[in-house]
């Protein structure tokens, strides 16, 4: 089975002070990593390959820095890496990123495409479902369980309230992977050694039959206008002091509030 996994390199803002500069945030000091959802997608692909054989191609849209997450995918067990880039892609919205991926993927051989259900930076959740529509193949997103049998995928989609939707779709298909579907492995030194011997194929817009007008702000139907710090609607009363003091004060407050 030949699998394509789409990955994205994102800044980790979970513990950082985010500083807005124009239409972006300051990223120089932020650690970057593979999008968490994509990491689960790569692991899922590697487990499928271990079971059924075949190849895995990791693909990413982005500048040279994106190679880092492609190499990570190769180190986890993927066979080939592809990066698509042109300066014109800056400012592309989610649908346009899907368009770029579709243009590259339609000429490739695949039985299954895996992506993260969403990305930790922009959180749009557009790519898997839009990509499937463009390629004219079935899809399912927010998938927390995946079984492949007889050219079909039995998937469990995570709904709200702890409910799962179970469905069967024909392959090839695009599956948007939800976190928790598996336990992603660590990158091993042996994996890194293998990955560093592989060349990552670079595709420009011309290689995939697109022009600069098709991508970026020009090719997108949505445009980012402005970033701002979310207005604070409510702020917790912060209990000051060292941990022991604060904990004691909190215990008193809980008593006063009648919850103890």
Partner 1 sequence: MSEIFVLAEHRNGELRDVTFEMLSGARNLADKMGATVTAVLLGSGVNEMAEKLKSYANKVLVVDDPKLENFNAEIYQKVLSKLIKDHKPVVTLIGHTAFGMDLAPALAVELGLPLATDCIDLDAVDGRLVVTRQIYSGKVNAKVALKGDQFIATVRSGAFSIEEGALNGEIVTESVTIEDVPYRRFLGYEEAEVGEVDITQADYIVSVGRAIKDQENIPLVQELADVLGGVLACSRPVVDKNWLPKDRQVGSSGKIVKPKLYLAIGISGAFQHVAGMKDSGLIVAINKDPKAPIFNVADYGIVDDLFKVVPVLKEKIKEIKG
Partner 2 sequence: MDFELTEEQKDIAKAAREFAEGEFDKDYAMECDQEHKFPRELVRKAGELGFIGVHYPEEYGGAGLGALENALIVEEMCRVDSTLGLCIALPDFGCEIIKWFGTEEQKKKYLPKVCSGEWISAGIFTEPDHGSDITELSTTAVKDGDEWVINGTKTFITNGEIADFGVILVQTDPDAKPKYRGMSTFIVEKDCWEAADVGSKMGIRATSTAELSFDNARVPEENLVGELNRGFYQVLEFFDESRIEIAAQALGTAEAAFDRTMEYIKQRELHGKKLAEFQITRHKIADMATKIEAAKLLTYKAAWNFDNGRRIDPVLTSMAKWFAARTAVEVADEAIQLHGGYGYITEYEVERIYRDAKITEIYEGTREVQKNTIASGLIGKL
Residues 62-101 interacting with partner 2 (rule: CB under 8 A)? 67-68, 71-72, 75
Q: Binding to partner 2 by residue 196, rule CB under 8 A?
A: yes
For the CB of residue 187, give the shortest distance to partner 2 in the complex, in Å. 4
* 121 within 8 A of 35, measured Cβ to Cβ: yes
Binding-site member from 28, 150, 190, 233 for partner 1 (CB under 8 A) = 233
What string of DSSP letters covers 106-137? TTS--SEEEEESS-TTT----HHHHHHHHHT-
Interacting residue with partner 1 among 21, 186, 199, 230 (CB under 8 A): 230
Nearest of 135, 66, 126 to residue 97 by alpha carbon: 126
Nearer to partner 2 (CB atom), residue 196 or residue 222: 196
Going 96 to 47 to 72 to 193, the CA torsion angle's sign is negative
- Please enumerate in sequence order all residues whose Cβ is within 8 A of that of 230, keeping only pairs 6 or more positions apart, or say none: none
Q: Mask: binding to partner 1, 58-87, rule CB under 8 A, as x and -?
A: ------------------------------
Least distance to partner 1 from the beta carbon of 245, Å?
A: 9
Nearer to partner 1 by Cβ, of 129 and 195: the residue is 129
Span from 50-58, 80-88, 193-201, 202-210 in contact with partner 2 (CB under 8 A):
193-201
Q: In 3D, which of 1, 12, 107 has the Cα closest to residue 48?
A: 1
Alpha-carbon gap, residue 20 to 26, rounded angstroms: 6
Token output for 210: 């697109």
Q: Give the angle subtended at the CA of 225 by the CAs of 37 and 227, to the nearest 5°.
A: 60
- Residues 140 and 167: beta-carbon distance below 8 Å: yes
147, 70, 94, 170: CA torsion to nearest 10: -20
7, 179, 191, 200: which one contacts partner 1 (CB under 8 A)? 179
The tokens describing 63, both together, are 């500048």
Q: Residues 84 to 123: which contact partner 1 by CB under 8 A?
A: 94-95, 98, 117-118, 120-123
Q: Which stretch binds partner 1 (CB under 8 A): 16-24, 47-55, 79-87, 201-209?
A: 16-24
Contact at 8 Å (CB) between 84 and 222?
A: no
Given candidates 242, 256, 258, 259, which one binds partner 2 under the rule CB under 8 A? 242
Residue 56's φ and ψ, nearest 5 degrees, are -125, 130
Decide: is 195 part of the binding site for partner 2 (CB under 8 A).
Answer: yes
The window from 59-67, 80-88, 194-202, 218-226 that contacts partner 1 (CB under 8 A) reads 218-226
154 binds, among partner 1, partner 2, none (CB under 5 to 8 A by kind): partner 1
Q: How far is the CB of 255 from partner 1 (least distance, A)?
A: 5
For partner 2, the binding residues (CB under 8 A) are: 67-68, 71-72, 75, 186-190, 192-193, 195-196, 240, 242
């Amino acid at each position: 089975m030949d699998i394509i996994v789409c990955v994205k390199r994102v800044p980790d803002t979970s513990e950082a002070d985010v500083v807005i500069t124009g239409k972006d945030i300051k990223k120089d000091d932020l650690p970057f990593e593979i999008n968490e959802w994509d990491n689960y997608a790569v692991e899922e692909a590697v487990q499928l390959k271990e079971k059924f054989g075949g190849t895995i191609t990791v693909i990413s849209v982005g500048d040279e820095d994106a190679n880092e997450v492609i190499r990570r995918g190769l180190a986890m067990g993927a066979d080939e890496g592809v990066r698509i880039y042109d300066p014109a892609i800056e400012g592309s919205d989610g649908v346009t990123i899907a368009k770029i991926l579709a243009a590259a993927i339609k000429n490739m051989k695949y039985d299954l495409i895996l992506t993260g259900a969403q990305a930790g930076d922009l959180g749009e959740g557009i790519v898997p479902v839009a990509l499937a529509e463009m390629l004219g193949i079935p899809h399912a997103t927010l998938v927390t369980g995946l079984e492949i049998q007889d050219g079909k995928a039995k998937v469990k989609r995570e709904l709200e309230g702890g409910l799962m939707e179970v469905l069967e779709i024909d392959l090839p298909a695009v599956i948007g992977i939800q976190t928790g579907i598996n336990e992603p492995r660590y990158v091993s030194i042996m994996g890194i050694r293998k990955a560093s011997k592989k060349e990552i194929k670079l595709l420009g817009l011309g290689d995939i039959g697109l022009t600069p007008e098709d991508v970026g702000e020009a090719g997108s139907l949505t445009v980012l206008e402005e970033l701002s710090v979310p207005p604070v609607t409510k702020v917790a009363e912060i209990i000051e002091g060292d941990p022991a003091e604060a904990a004691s004060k909190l215990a008193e407050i809980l008593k006063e509030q009648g919850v103890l």
